[in-house]
């Protein structure tokens, strides 16, 4: 089975909840537990928050969220056209921040997802790719 959807939102904190609920609803096509759906919601919240706070800072822009179910996995791509990440390796370290916050967003995303990739270019934006497989499906594979 394959299915896909796309959500484009303005870079406003009011839209974080919409992104969370939309992605969780889409993810429910697969056999995720409630705990796994919560992990997906946290990961999306962090990805969208990072785009708003770090990517666009005081400016406004759009955040595109693409979702795809294929096989027995969920792929989520969160893309902005903000300022980009200068040092991706440093940004993935715990407590790294450019906005006086806790700096754990990318760490949470990495820990909650089965696969996590970042592409970023200065002044061009950032793309986060996340893949999550239901635990029940992983057990069947092993």
Mean pLDDT of the 3-28 span: 98
Q: What pLDDT sits at residue 57?
A: 87
Q: Is the pLDDT of residue 142 over 90?
A: no
CATH value at residue 6: 3.30.565.10
Beta bridge partners of 8: 64
Catalytic residues: 46, 50, 101
Strands (E), 72-134: 73-80, 115-121, 125-132
pTM of the complete model beyond 0.85: yes
Instruction: Summarize pLDDT for 113-122 with one digit per residue, the tens.
Output: 999 999 999 8
Question: Does 99 fall in a domain?
Answer: yes
Q: What's the sign of the alpha-carbon dihedral 70, 43, 104, 88?
A: positive
First to last CA, the chain: 21
DSSP letter string, 105-117: HHHHHHHHSSEEE
Domain count within the chain: 1
Question: Does 129 fall in a domain?
Answer: yes
Question: Does 61 fall in a domain?
Answer: yes
SS3 7: strand
- Rounded to 5°, angle at Cα 37 from 27 and 80: 65
Question: Does 141 fall in a domain?
Answer: no
Instruction: Summarize pLDDT for 34-63 with one digit per residue, the tens.
Output: 999 999 999 999 999 999 998 998 899 999
Question: Does 142 fall in a domain?
Answer: no
Instruction: Summarize pLDDT for 101-113 with one digit per residue, the tens.
Output: 555 578 889 999 9
Instruction: Summarize pLDDT for 24-36 with one digit per residue, the tens.
Output: 999 999 999 999 9
Structural domain span for residue 116: 2-136
């Amino acid at each position: 089975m394959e299915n896909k959807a796309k959500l484009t939102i303005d870079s406003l904190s009011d839209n974080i909840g919409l992104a969370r609920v939309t992605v969780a609803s889409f993810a429910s096509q697969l056999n995720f537990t409630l705990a796994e759906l919560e992990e997906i919601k946290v990961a999306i919240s962090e990805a969208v928050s990072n785009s708003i706070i770090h990517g666009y800072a005081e400016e406004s822009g759009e955040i595109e969220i693409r979702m795809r179910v294929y096989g027995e996995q969920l792929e989520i791509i969160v893309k902005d056209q903000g300022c980009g990440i200068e040092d991706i390796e440093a940004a993935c370290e715990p407590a790294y921040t450019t906005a006086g916050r806790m700096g754990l967003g990318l760490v949470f995303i990495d820990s909650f997802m089965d696969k996590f990739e970042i592409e970023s270019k200065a002044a061009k934006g950032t793309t986060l790719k996340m893949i999550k497989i239901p635990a029940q499906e992983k057990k069947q594979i092993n």
